[in-house]
Structure 1
Amino acid sequence: MLDIPAGVSSLHVYVYGKNELIFKNTEPDIQFVYFDGDSTLTVTEDFLIGLNNLRLILMSGMAINGFPMFNSTSLTDVDISDLKLPSLITIDSSMLNLPQLTFLRPTSNIEWYKFAVMHLKTR
């Protein structure tokens, strides 16, 4: 469990991409961010307090009625110790070359995304 420093009520990730949908887990050290295509993460100051790196778990999967269903994972460590604020971390399509789920074509209540799970690690 991540120790959130005093005075910090939450950690924020701002995502800019084709799908600007953000789903936050109830656990404060993990956030789910959906995106479709290339996206850039903007890392803000409160996001970096008490942290020294950011691990991106890149996944391919689907969301059923907004609930994520996970499939393949690929780990990418991003060193953020020297980032100037605000900072940008670019996620491009080459980081998302993952096998697709083998299900029937989605129905109207299933939306397909590529998404990242950001796991924050303490110092």
Structure 2
Amino acid sequence: MDAIAYFNIILRLAIWFLLTADFSLANIIIGVTIAFLLPRRWTSPEPLREWIKVLWKTVVAIPQAYIEAIQIMLFPHNEEEIVREKVKPNRTPGLIFLDIFLITFTPKTIVVKYHQRGWYEVHRIRRKISDQ
């Protein structure tokens, strides 16, 4: 197995544990079994460098999510907008999924729609800065 295959299995296990929130031995066995049994797409493998970038962005997104949650609780965020964000070129379905996950993970943004033409529609909330 190459490094990308390991990343795919780790990603599947991470999603399993996020969904179940159960680290019992039985659940670990079920998660590992499902991670190996889910069908794989045999497309061109993502470069290892892209996976490492996305995994680093995931690590950075965790404290960012807490900061944004605190900001929402302390200050009113009453402006909304839907913006289009361009998908990075040559993204495989696995990396597109992770991009959508990262955008949606933070409390101030959520992906509303993915366009096959290479765009995400992202709903954002932000603080309205009063004009004085």
TM-score by length of 2: 0.28
Identify, as 1 or 2, the structure richer in strand.
1
Larger Rg: 2
Select the structure with the greater relative contact order (CA < 8 A; seq sep ≥ 6): 1
Higher percent of residues as helix: 2
